[in-house]
Amino acid sequence: MANQALNMNYAEREQRRFEKRVALLGFLSSGEVWTTLHVASELLQTSERNVLRLLQKLVQEKLLKVDAQVLPYSHLKIYGISDHGLAVCGAGESIKAFQIGKTNPSWVAHHVQCQLIRIRAESSGWTNWVPGKLLLVENGNRLKKIPDFLMTRPSPDGRKCSGELERFCKSPRRLSAVMGAHLQQIVSGKYELVYYFVPNKAAQQRAFDRVQFVSIDGQKIKLNDSHRARFRIFEINSWSGEM
């Protein structure tokens, strides 16, 4: 990538910088709100050194804000889009600006991992990504269970899916409630499949296997192969966008 940049003329380099700027602001204004240097580097497919310069420039221009205190005893900084940035991007009213000091430290790892999954998905042709934070704001009474994100499988398949990032296996009772809610939303046409992204596929499969019954529309239903086929399990670190 460095060699490619060296072969560009001034106008081409400026265009490349502009495209990366637009891509980063578009990503944050789509409902992601904030991110880290590492994620931004993965998104833009360039070095962290180059991305840091871009982030610092956007902060200087008041398009982004930076919070260096989100994780105690850590050098991690998170960069979030400002009200000015949202206005420049033309974001909808449901997208809220980043607020310094308001990020829950316990959710940082989850948020970052969901963004890395998104980057892999979109680079593999997945579309229509909607972060869970945006679903929560816009939900009303449409979804009983808010997934971590919604996404659409690559063309020509085009099936709408929900996604869950599960860093730890739930109890059978809790998982039964979650699976029942997902199946109910599948029946009502909200989406067709549920993708689980987990650190250990075998452990998650065993957790699913322990669930024999769910409640759908107030009725106790025994899970069959058709129900179970709606749930797909992938290991976080090895998923590369496959369906």
**Domain that includes residue 11, residue range:** 2-103
Query: How many Å apart are CA 116 and CA 114, to the nearest integer?
Result: 5
Do residues 39 and 62 share a domain? yes
Q: Specify the pLDDT at position 3.
A: 54
- Could you tell me which of 155, 114, 124, 110 has the C-alpha nearest to residue 30? 114
Report yes or no: 114 and 149 within 8 Å, Cβ to Cβ: yes
Q: Specify the pLDDT at position 140.
A: 55
Residue 59 structure tokens: 């902060």
Cα→Cα distances 211→87, 103, 117, 207, Å: 47, 34, 27, 7
Of 4-13, 75-84, 227-236, the range with the lowest mean pLDDT is 4-13
In a domain, 241, yes or no: no
The CB density around residue 234, as the number of other CB atoms within 10 Å, is 18
Q: At 1, is the pLDDT very low, low, confident or very high (cuts 50, 70, 90)? A: very low
Query: How many Å apart are CA 79 and CA 63, to the nearest integer?
Result: 10
Q: Residue 139 in 3-state DSSP?
A: coil
Residue 67 pairs in a beta bridge with 78
Cα→Cα distances 209→104, 123, 198, Å: 33, 32, 15
In this prediction the pTM is 0.92
Do residues 68 and 129 share a domain? no
How confident is the model over 53-77, as pLDDT tens digits?
Answer: 999 999 999 999 999 989 888 889 9
Beta sheet of 34-36, edge-to-edge order: 34-36, 78-81, 64-67
- Could you tell me which of 141, 134, 182 has the C-alpha nearest to residue 160? 182
**Which percentage of the chain shows pLDDT scores above 90?**
83
Query: How many Å apart are CA 78 and CA 60, to the nearest integer?
Result: 15
Among 76, 103, 130, which residue terminates a domain? 103
Do residues 166 and 76 share a domain? no
- Could you tell me which of 38, 31, 105, 29 has the C-alpha nearest to residue 64? 29
HSE at residue 96, side-chain half, CA atoms within 13 A, is 12
User: What's at 151, amino acid-wise?
Assistant: M
Q: Please give the mean pLDDT across all residues of the chain.
A: 93
How confident is the model over 218-229, as pLDDT tens digits?
Answer: 889 999 999 999
Do residues 90 and 122 share a domain? no
In a domain, 214, yes or no: yes
Do residues 44 and 62 share a domain? yes
How confident is the model over 153-211, as pLDDT tens digits?
Answer: 999 999 999 999 999 999 999 999 999 999 999 999 999 999 999 999 999 999 999 99
Place of tokens 């105690």: 72
CA 172 to chain centre: 26
